[in-house]
Amino acid sequence: MNSKVAIFLLIISLSILTPGCLDKREVENNDSRAKPLISVATLDDLIPRENLPIGITYLGTHETTIDPLGVKGREGVYKNSEGVDFYVRVIKCESDRAAEELIEKYKSRYEKYPYNPFEEVIINNHTATQVRDTTLQGGRHVSTYTYIWRNENYVFITASNLPDENSPTFKLANAIGY
């Protein structure tokens, strides 16, 4: 008799708990803020507009030619409260291999630098390259930072002209989510 009661209670418990689990998954799948899978996303989907780092505002997106690569892509333009520009560039390549080659071509423009401008970092669970560039701003040499990485056959480049402070640019790169 005890085993029948235990089975009955187990069946009742499962019938109560199962709909709750399914409802939770359904809510998660219907979350309008969820990003589409990269395989079905458009280039515009890959440029963040919401959940940006504090102080950074999205201004718009347009098609652009990414120099020095000479390839077309989409560019999201941002500004922070101090008027500093930020950019997110996305390029769709024909294959994963073509994306890797594009990154190597981008990095080759730094070959003649008298220092190593590259450092590996992790962005959205992908290995990315942080590029430190030295520019002259306000009469002094400062470092600016660019991040470049790929996810499948897409190449992402996040940059700003924010001197000596790579944190907001890094946070914007992470806001991409891919």
Out of 8-17, 84-93, 97-106, which region has the weakest mean confidence (pLDDT)?
Answer: 8-17
Q: In which residue are the tokens 């507009």 written? A: 49
d(CA 118, CA 10): 58
- Read off the pTM: 0.78
Q: CB neighbours (10 Å) of residue 12?
A: 10
Element (H, E) at 18: helix 2-29
d(CA 6, CA 3): 5
Mean pLDDT calculated for residue range 25-47? 67
The band of 159, judged by pLDDT with boundaries at 50, 70 and 90, is very high
Give whichever of 20-34, 137-151, 162-176 has the largest mean pLDDT: 137-151
The band of 18, judged by pLDDT with boundaries at 50, 70 and 90, is very low
d(CA 68, CA 141): 23
The helix/strand/coil state of 107 is helix
Mean pLDDT calculated for residue range 38-63? 92
